[in-house]
Every structure is written in C-alpha cells, then in structure tokens.
Amino acid sequence: AALGYRSRARIAYERGRVGFRARASHEVVDVERCAVLDSATETELSRVRARPPRGSGELEIRGYGERIEIGERRFAVGPTAFFQANRPLWKRWQDAVVDACGRGERACELYCGVGFYTQPLAERFARVVAVERGPSARDARSNTRAEIVEAACEDWAPRGLAALAPELVLLNPPRGGCHRLVLDAIREARPRRVVYVSCEASTLARDVARLGAAFRVARLVVLDALPQTHHIEAIAVLDSV
C-alpha cells in the first residue's frame, strides 16, 4: 500500500503544536492527519494532539502494543525497541529474508533486534546464535529459542564467529551499517553465505566492498519499504567464492 501503511512515527511538539519538523529545520509543522500512517497510528497521533505535551521535544507513536502477531508468530516488542514500520510488509519481508538464508546446522545473526528474523531462522538451523545489546536483546530472548548474546557486535564477532564457524551470517545493522571489526571477522570466518538486510544503500555498498573478493553478490532484492519517501530496503545475498 502506498498510503496508510506506517505503524510507527516520530513526531515533534512545541508550544501546543504537534506534528513533524519541516525539512532541514527545527520548526514544528502542526499536522492533524498524516496520509502514510495506518489507522491505529493515526489514533495515537490524535490522542497526543488532544493533550499536547508541555515544552518541546520529540516522541514516538506506535499503532501496536508490546505484543505483536505476524501470522502464527508472536513477538514481544518493548517500548524502546525498534520494529519495522511498514505493517503490510511484515510477513513478506520476514519470509523473503529467511528464505534467502536457506537451511543448515549453524547460523549467526548480528544486529538481531527483537528477533524478527531470528525466530523463523531458528526453525531452519540446528543452532542459531544471535547478537544484540540493550533492551532489544531481552525482547529477543523471550521471542526465540536461539542463543541470544547481549553484546555489541563488534566486541563479540572477532572471537565469536571464529569459534562458531557458521555456515550463514545474517546481518541487519542500523542505517550506519556494520562496524569494520564485524566485517573483518566475517571475512576471516568465511561462511558459505551472508545475507545482508539494509535500510541504507550507500552503507550496504560500502560494506559489501569491504568484505572484498571473498564473496560475490548472488542476488539483490530491493523493497519499496517506505512509500512516499526516498528510502528503500535491500536484501543482498552474498555467497563465498
């Protein structure tokens, strides 16, 4: 859906105005309705507008609670945890990524968040180790039977990947991409496949280049994940050569 798809948004408030910041500005533009928000998130926007917070600042509104169902799967999502914004794409997104991962004995997911991909991945591999830090790691522990390591990926990966020797590494980093130490560790571990889920094409290109000639891009899937914006989501499948 090009409109009415977004299940969360960051809004700004100042002196009774509630809405979004103007482009390249701190000005708060008062917004009664946003066409890309789904109905539940629109309701949250109206609730905030009915009683605007005092002072000025930003807050996140979500059209879902701390428990989410996607098909037969259930996820705990804490108040500060990241979750994909495009509700209609949740199931298709999940299936596309996990199908690209295949099946096997040992897999590692780095930057796993609340375990959105980890839960189905653990059904396809005999052993899955997933790494995340902060509150999202605690959500992931309740969402999946995978082994959850609460640590920064760049701290765990140099020794952890070498010890695990995974056949698959699944990457789902924030917009800034992967830490160089993570990419170095992947290059050393030489898994058969790397699946990289990216929300920023420039850092995906940078990180694939840093992995070097040890891997080739076997497939690239691009999703119009946030319609009406310039943002895309990409799934890059890299096979060892």
CB neighbour class for 229 (10 Å; exposed up to 12, middle 13-18, buried from 19): exposed
Tokens linked to 98: 């996990």
Tokens linked to 112: 């796993």
Which strands, in side-by-side order, build the sheet including 28-30? 28-30, 17-21, 8-14, 56-62
Catalytic residue list: 199
Q: State how far the Cα of 227 lies from the Cα of 41, in Å rounded to an integer.
A: 16
* DSSP state at residue 115: T
Q: State how far the Cα of 131 lies from the Cα of 152, in Å rounded to an integer.
A: 7
Alpha-carbon distances, residue 28 vs 15, 38, 47, 56 (angstroms) = 9, 21, 18, 9
